Each structure stands twice: as C-alpha cells, then as structure tokens.
Amino acid sequence: MNTDVIKSNIEASLITWLKKIPVISFYAGTRGWFYLISWSHRITGILLVISLWAYLYGFHALQASQKLFILALLLWILAIPMAFHGFNGARLILYECFGNRNDDAMIRSVFALSFIYVIVFGMLMLMGNQMVSPFLYWVIMFAQALVVAYGVATRILKSRHSVLWKMQRISGSFLLVMVPAYFLFIPLNPSPEIEANFLITGIQGLFLMAVYILLLLSALFHAGYGVWSVMSDYLASRNLGKGLAALVTFITLIFAWIGLLATLSV
Amino acid sequence: MYNEIYDITLKVKRYDPEAKRTWVQDYNLKAGRILRFTDLFRRINNELDPSLAWNSSCEHAQCGTCAVQINGKPLLACELLVENAVAQFGTSVFKVEPITIAPVVRDLIVDLEQAYDRVHKAKPYIIDGAKKSQAQAESQILPRDLERYVEATRCINCFCCATACISSHKGFLGPNAVMASIVRLMDPREQAREERLDLLYSEEGIYRCHTSKACSFVCPKEIDVAHFIALAKEGKFKT
C-alpha cells in the first residue's frame, strides 16, 4: 500500500473541496495557506477566550446541568478549535523558537493530531466512566505539562524577548497538555469533574486544587495576552493601546477572581 | 501560438484626490501573451485614457516602484506577463488596485515617502562598522556567514510583503523593514547591535509578526521573509 499516494490523494481532495469556498480560495491564492491557518489560529483563539470566560461565569450552572446532551455536544464541538489551536500553537513555537522549518510536515501533524484527539474525546464521551483515579491522572498530566513547559522555558528564558512574550509561549506549552487533559477528564469521571477531585482530602486534594488554580491562571493569562496582541495589530495610537491593555488586564483579573472563588468553594 | 492575442479586461481602482472620489474603471484591451502589465498600463495611457496614474521606474523587477495588487495579490506589474496572469488567476478579467501600505496619492500611486519612513526607521545600512586595523584595507565576511543572509539582501522594498501581512500596518514596521534590520544584525561588521535589538524587540518590531508567512508567499524576489523574522525571534543572528 503506497501511503504517500493515499496521503497526497486525501490532501488533493481536501484542497479541491476547500477551494470551492470563495473566501478560502481567494486568500489561499493571494496570501497562501499559512495565512489562512494564521487566521484560523486567531479565530479559534478568540472563540476559546469567549468560551473560557463563559465557562467561568457560569461555572456552577454548568456543573449542575452537565449531563445534558446538548452541553456534551457543545463540549465535543469546542474540542475541535481547542485541539487545532493547541497543536498549531505548538507548531508556531517549534518554528519560531526551535528553528524547525519543516512546516508542511508540521501542519499535517497539526491536522492529524487534532483529528485523532477529537475522535478519541468523542469515543470517551460515548463510553462514559473509565474509573480513572483523579489524583493519578492529574499527576501524570501535570508532570507532562511541566516537562513541555520547561523545554520551552529553557529555550527562551535567556532571550531578549519581553517577559510577557516569554510567558505567553511558556503558558501555551503548559496548556498544550493541560487543556486537552481537562477536556478528556470530564467523560473519564463519573461525578462532576471538579467536585469529584476535591472530594479527595489531604495532600491529594491540595495538589489537585493547586493544579486547577495553575491551569486557571495560565489559561487566563494566555487568553488575555492573546486578545491584547491581536488588538495591538490594529491600533496606531499608543495611548489607546495602553488603555486596552489596562482593560484586558482588568477583565482577566475579574475572571481570575471568579475562577478562584469557584475553585476554592468546591 | 506565439501570436496568440488575449481579450483582457482591467478593472482599475481609481482615486481622484481633488474630488476625493474613488471608483472602478474598466479598460478592454487586446494584448499579446508576453506583454507585461506595465505595458498594458502604458497602452491605456497611449490609446484609451491618458489620465490613469501609475508608477514604474526600472521595469526589470529591481526597484519595486510598480507594485500593485492584481486580483488581490500584491506583485510587481513589470514582472507579470499577460499569459502568466491568465494561467495564474484562471481569468482574463483583472482587478487592479494600489498596494495598501500607505495612503493613495492618485489611482495606483501610493505615498512611497510615507511607506519608506518605516524602512528608514530600521536603518537599512551598517550603523557602526567593525573597526579595521591599519594593515587591513577591507572588511572580510566569511562565505558561510554571508550565505546565511545573502538571500535577504535581494529585498527591493516593494512593500508587497507589508501589503500581504496579517498584522496590518498600524503598529508594525513591516516585514521588509524588520528584515532590513535583521540582515544587518547578521552582518559581522555591524557593531550597533543594541540599537538594532531595541527596535526589533519592541512592540512595533517582531512581536507584531504572527508567522502567517504571507510575506514569503508574495515576495517577488522569492525571499523567505518569515524565516528571517523567525531567526530574530530565536535570537539566532550568528552561526
């Protein structure tokens, strides 16, 4: 079986299909496919920011009603932009910070990994409880996330970049493992996910709470800096930029407070 | 075959600064296959409409003055042959617009002075060359050093990359201006490294680049601009 032929046939069919959409065809022809992928990264990022804020705002309501089919379906749909944004972010970090220029292979990996993740996530949602130990699960995921974040941090920490730029990359690499893990954990656990973890008391409970707080703060920082970065592209006025930075910081702090209160009150 | 004639329609976006009026004007031409778009503009001036304003200088893809957008793609009008345009865009109807990097002066002409302000800010020259000893008559660059950045020295500042960039032009120096500074940082003769790094690692420098790689895609000189900006993000100016 010639896998190269199959691969090129799949790609050719997909590209032909995508080119039937006028806006995609236009930008692919005049700016290139990576331009479209960059826009997809932005759009999925903004979608995830809105989802994060909405999730934190309706934290308790969502927990109480999460068995509803429609919410499960929405969660599964949300996993698609989440997986794409995460894996594409990893591709950008590899390109910009690790000198990996094999972008064609990397973008294939982004789509392949996103596809696999979304399918596995859907299967786990259908199967339901797998009786996974919350503590063990999060120890493994947290350790993996730390390894990835440490690898990126050692690469960029001594560089001349701004602290915020570095934190964006480090938080992104941490979230690359932690957010998909957070999504996966929901169908793995029989009870509402957060509550189930904090039923465990003592050191295990404290560890889980610390993991969730770190995840919350990383996600909020990554979201806030991402929003500000996109807005900065379209602002000529420095004062307006500073004003918007202050506004984004304020909104991020409010949601951090809401998230912390919700996490600590469980 | 060699005498093939195309029926071309150019839909030119025009601008009259006196009346502050913008409109699209159609020009129908019969054109030979190896005519360039600058030739088409000239024929419009000579045969159809002397008032159409456009820019060109060398007409050998070396100065960047004739950069326009054809069917949305920034490119050099002097480099685009009619038959290639028909093949590339799959049509004989072409929408012709000015590049978007600076305000339009008239029709297809933009304010290049304003566009060049960003390049000047990046100082596209050696600010402070390495001191030579008395015995040394000239600076030497090792071939392996030169090989890393010589591709970027082909940049003609046509601003096609800046027009295509995802990051708009409001807060960004632009891919060509940023690359001009990166090239000098890769040049072993440059001593004014701190000054250059301050500009590159500022909010109008590389932080506005999101690696959409449209710059590399449209560059008429086929420079991988995104690669050089990524080298700066990696801090890899030296071998």
Helix (H) or strand (E) holding B184: helix B175-186
**Domains along the sequence of chain A with CATH:** 31-265 (1.20.1300)
Dihedral (CA of A29, A30, A36, A38) sign: positive
Contact A34/B203, CB-based, under 8 Å? no
Q: Which residues of chain A fall short of a pLDDT of 70?
A: 1-7, 59-68, 190-201, 266
Q: Are B192 and B161 in contact (CB under 8 A)?
A: no
Q: Band the pLDDT of B215: cuts 50, 70, 90.
A: very high
Q: In sequence order, what are the beta bridge partners of A54? A: none
pLDDT at residue number A42: 97
Which of B168, B170, B237 is CA-nearest to residue B200? B237
Contact A96/B171, CB-based, under 8 Å? no
Contact B168/A234, CB-based, under 8 Å? yes
Answer whether residue B219 shows pLDDT above 70: yes
Which residue in chain B has the smallest CA separation from A38? B212
pLDDT at residue number A237: 82
Chain B hits for A38, CB-CB cut-off 8 Å, are 166, 210-213
Q: Are B197 and A162 in contact (CB under 8 A)?
A: no
Q: What is the mean pLDDT of residues B88-94?
A: 96
Which of A104, A21, A74 is CA-nearest to residue A186? A74
C-alpha A172/C-alpha A148 separation (Å) is 10
Looking at CA atoms only, how far is residue A122 from chain B in angstroms?
31
Q: What is the mean pLDDT of residues B149-158?
A: 96
pLDDT at residue number B168: 76
pLDDT at residue number B3: 76
Residue A248, number of CB atoms within 10 A of its CB = 18
Contact A30/B164, CB-based, under 8 Å? yes
Chain B hits for A30, CB-CB cut-off 8 Å, are 71-74, 164, 218
CB within 8 Å of A71: residues ≥ 6 apart? A62, A65
Contact A96/B203, CB-based, under 8 Å? no
Task: Please name the residues between 234 and 253 in chain A that touch chain B, using a CB distance below 8 Å.
Answer: 234-236, 241
Chain B hits for A103, CB-CB cut-off 8 Å, are 213
Chain A hits for B230, CB-CB cut-off 8 Å, are 95-96, 99, 101
Contact B208/A233, CB-based, under 8 Å? yes
Contact A38/B166, CB-based, under 8 Å? yes
C-alpha B239/C-alpha B226 separation (Å) is 18
Which residue in chain A has the smallest CA separation from B88? A29
pLDDT at residue number B120: 96
Q: Are B211 and A95 in contact (CB under 8 A)?
A: yes
Contact B203/A241, CB-based, under 8 Å? yes
Chain B hits for A162, CB-CB cut-off 8 Å, are 201, 207
Which residue in chain A has the smallest CA separation from B229? A96
pLDDT at residue number A266: 64
**Domains along the sequence of chain B with CATH:** 5-110 (3.10.20.30), 112-234 (1.10.1060.10)
Contact A96/B211, CB-based, under 8 Å? yes
C-alpha B161/C-alpha A31 separation (Å) is 9
Which of B151, B234, B224, B165 is CA-nearest to residue A100? B234
Average confidence score pLDDT of chain B? 94
pLDDT at residue number B156: 97
Structure letter (DSSP) for residue A67 = T
Answer whether residue B200 shows pLDDT above 70: yes
pLDDT at residue number B90: 95
**A244 exposure class (CB count in 10 Å sphere: 0-12, 13-18, 19+):** middle
For B112-137, the pLDDT digits (tens) are 999 999 999 999 999 988 776 666 67
pLDDT at residue number A61: 60
Answer whether residue B93 shows pLDDT above 90: yes
Q: Band the pLDDT of B33: cuts 50, 70, 90.
A: very high
C-alpha B54/C-alpha A185 separation (Å) is 61
CB pairs under 8 A between A and B: 94
**A66 or B140, greater pLDDT:** B140
Hunting for tokens 């493994």 — which residue is that? A140
Of B60-64, B132-136, B176-180, B225-229, which range is least confident?
A: B132-136
pLDDT at residue number B70: 98
Contact B233/A97, CB-based, under 8 Å? yes
- Nearest Cβ partner of B211 from A26, A38, A160? A38
Confidence (pTM): 0.91
pLDDT at residue number A127: 86
Contact A92/B172, CB-based, under 8 Å? no
User: For the residues of A7-26, what is the DSSP string, one character each?
Assistant: HHHHHHHHHHHHTTSHHHHH
- Looking at the complex, does the CB of residue A233 fall below 8 Å from at least one CB of chain B? yes
pLDDT at residue number B13: 98
